[in-house]
Amino acid sequence: MQYIQQPQAIEAKSFDIIGEIIRETRPDYQFASPLHEAIIKRVIHTTADFDWLDILWFSSDVLEQFCAALSRSSVIYTDTTMALSGINKNAAGKIRR
């Protein structure tokens, strides 16, 4: 058996598996947008809990406000070190215009 050793490849495979499980167990589930899908799958990946498909809720414009805040180099407060660690600083920096 060959093991995947590259962290990015392991992560990509994990997300593929999450997508497969959602399609198999919840074939009618619809994400509100690609961004919602990315966030919910990240939460599932972090927690290994598919209940987030039903319990994670977003207010109508929160993601637009968040993206706008990132583009303005805003300060982001988190309530946990884990949340802070999960923010990809390089990716966040690319959002700035």
- Residues 56/31, Cβ–Cβ less than 8 Å: no
Amino acid (1-letter code) at residue 56: L
DSSP-derived secondary structure letter, 3: P
How far apart are alpha carbons 39 and 79 in whole angstroms? Answer: 18
Q: How confident is the model at residue 88 (pLDDT cuts 50, 70, 90)?
A: confident
Q: Dump pLDDT digits (tens) for 5-33.
A: 998 999 999 999 999 999 999 999 999 99
45 is catalytic: yes
Helix, strand and coil percent figures for the chain, each rounded to 5? 60, 0, 40
Dump pLDDT digits (tens) for 18-73: 999 999 999 999 999 999 999 999 999 999 999 999 999 999 899 898 888 878 87
Considering the candidates 42, 45, 53, 63, report the single residue annotated as catalytic. 45
**Rounded CA Rg of the chain:** 15
Rounded CA-CA distance 50/43 in Å is: 9
Give the pLDDT band (50/70/90) at residue 96.
low
